[in-house]
Amino acid sequence: MSSENNLKLNSIYAFKEGMSTVFDETGTAIPVTILRYAPWYVSQVKTVDNDGYQALQLACEPRKAKNSNKPDIGHFKKMGHETSFKFVREVRVDNLGEVKLGDQLALDSLIKGDVVKVTAKSKGHGFAGSVKRWSFAGGPASHGSKFHRQPGSSGNRTWPGRVMPGKKFPGHWGDETVTVKNLKIVDVNMDENVVLVRGAVPGARNTLVKIVKA
C-alpha cells in the first residue's frame, strides 16, 4: 500500500481521547479536547465522469482477514491491501490533483490556529423522561400536587383531535449527530499524532470525529 504522497485536505477524521488542560504563553489555562489521529488512506477516487461528482473515499484501521467479506476484499485490493477496513468515509473535493489509490491523508492538513467545525455522534443516555430530555419544568414537588415529572397535556381539542408532529415526549436521549462550530486548533503534535481542539467535542471516548476547516 503506497503512502509516499501525504495528501492534504480541508478536513480530517480523528478519534476522541478525552479532555485536558494546557497553558498558553501567558499562563492562561485552556480546556482542550484531545483527538488522536490514525492513518487514513485513499481507497477510491470518484470523478465526475464515472460517479457524477468529485470525492475521495478514505479508509482507516484494517480488519483481520476473518472479519472481511469477499466484496470488501476485492474493493480494497485495488489499493494494495488484502483485507477490509473498519472505518470508511467520503470527502468531497474540488481538485483531485495527482491523488492515487493508497495515498495517506496528512495530519498537517490542520495547523495551529485554524478555526474548525467538529461533527461527531453524541453520547447516548438511553430512555429519558420529558423533564430530563427536554428540560420541562414539571409540577410542584410537594403539597399533594400529584403532578411532578410528567409531560402534561399532549393532545388537542376535538379538532384536530391528534398529537401534532414534533411534540416533545419521553424517549431516547442523545446518540445524535452533533456539530460544534468555531472551535480553534490549539496545537498539532506530529510526533504523537494528536490534535488539541479548544473546548468540548461531542461523543464518548474513541468516538470518530470529523474536523472541517471553517
pLDDT at 27: 94
Please state which CATH number belongs to domain 6-123+178-213.
Answer: 2.40.30.10
In this prediction the pTM is 0.86
Place of cell 481542539: 197
Residue 143 has pLDDT above 60, yes or no: yes
* Contact residues for 41 (Cβ-Cβ < 8 A; gap 6+): 1, 3, 58, 59, 60, 79, 81, 102, 103, 104, 105
The three cell numbers locating residue 134: 427536554
pLDDT confidence tier of residue 97, bands split at 50, 70 and 90: confident
**All structural domains of the chain with their residue ranges:** 6-123+178-213, 128-174
